[in-house]
Amino acid sequence: MSSGPEKDAALVIRTIRHGESSRIATLFTRNHGKVAVIAKGARRAKSGSTGVIEIPNLVEAVIYFKASRSVQTLGQASIIRSFPAIKRDLVLTGYASAVLELMNLSFTDAEPNPEILDTAIETLDSLETCSGSPRVNLWMFQLALFRAIGFNLDPYGCPVCGREKAMVGTRNMFWLDSGAICCSNCRPSNGACIPVSGESVSLLRNFVNGSDRILQRMKPSQSARREITDLLERFLKTHHSGIRKMPAMKMLESFENLPETPK
């Protein structure tokens, strides 16, 4: 890490209050990955960074790096995109929080990944403009994240018997260790498996194919939604030892079950 100020685009993925009027923020920067910064005076009404260092803003930040410090100092910061429509909607806020939570939990500090940053921004853009189902957008982000951290789903042929077609429409097992779908008869003796329906297998195949248009047209049943949401969460927890709890993901469900606000 070089010393001195550097300008970088960053997504604000987490903030906590610090002292009387400051804020410590976790930024996911394009060039340095996850960086903790202190925004001094950011909670004062007349500070230049009030309202800037807030989730899920995309900002241009000047960061003063010093290798010996774990928390760097934020200089100037300005908003590139503030996603106002997300901030005005409880459920979209829940989805955006889930995206930010995944970014925060899946990466360690100073591990740059511009591709996943771009994917996260695209996902937030899709939520902001309400293009497509927010749930499908979140699932697609999760799959991109798995690829970025080196784990792939393989919902095609059963890794044991090689059968493929029989899977759709029947009850199958998702092998958490390998990320593959296997027939219930071929269930491996080692490693945890979870049951998965034919509908979910079909959805997963469209994910892996990257058939966004088909996916956005699909209307998954409630049980398939629950199944895939659970499967993706458990797959991540299986492969990422640092992830135990995902509170934002859990809270999203409760937000979705609330009554609609009349327009």
Partner 1 sequence: MTDKFTQSGLPPTVVSLTDYLAKFPGIGRKSALRMALHVLRSSKDFAQSLSDALMAVKDRVSFCRTCWTLSEENPCPICTDSNREQNLICVVEEPGDVIAIERTGCWRGVYHVLGGAISPLDGIGPDQLRIDALIERTKDGHVSEIVVATNPTPEGETTALYIARIFSNSNLKITRIARGVPVGSDLELVDDSTLQQSIEGRGEIG
Helix axes 90-106, 114-128, angle to 10 degrees: 170
Between 215 and 232, CB nearer to partner 1: 232
- Residue 20 has which token pair? 């009387």
Beta carbon nearer to partner 1, 86 or 196: 86
Contact set with partner 1 (CB under 8 A): 14-16, 19-20, 45-46, 48-52, 54-57, 78-79, 82, 84, 87-90, 93-94, 97-98, 100-101, 104, 245, 247-248, 251-252, 254-255, 258-262
Cβ proximity to partner 1: between 19 and 162 the closer is 19
Report the nearest approach of partner 1 to the CB of residue 262 (Å).
6
Between 60 and 212, name the residue whose CB sits nearer to partner 1: 60
Q: Which is nearer to partner 1, 54 or 154 (CB)?
A: 54
Helices (H), the chain: 84-87, 90-106, 114-128, 134-148, 198-209, 212-217, 222-239, 247-256
The least distance separating partner 1 from the CB of residue 21, rounded to whole angstroms, comes to 9
Rounded to 5, what percent of the chain is helix, strand, coil? 40, 25, 35
Q: Least Å distance between CB 13 and partner 1?
A: 8
Distance set, CA 166 to CA 75, 126, 182, 183, 228 (Å) = 59, 35, 10, 8, 19
User: Min. distance of Cβ 171 from partner 1 in angstroms?
Assistant: 33
Closest listed residue to residue 109, CA positions, set 228, 196, 231, 1 = 1
**Rg (the chain; Cα; Å):** 20
Q: How far is the CB of 80 from partner 1 (least distance, A)?
A: 10
Strand partners, 72: 37
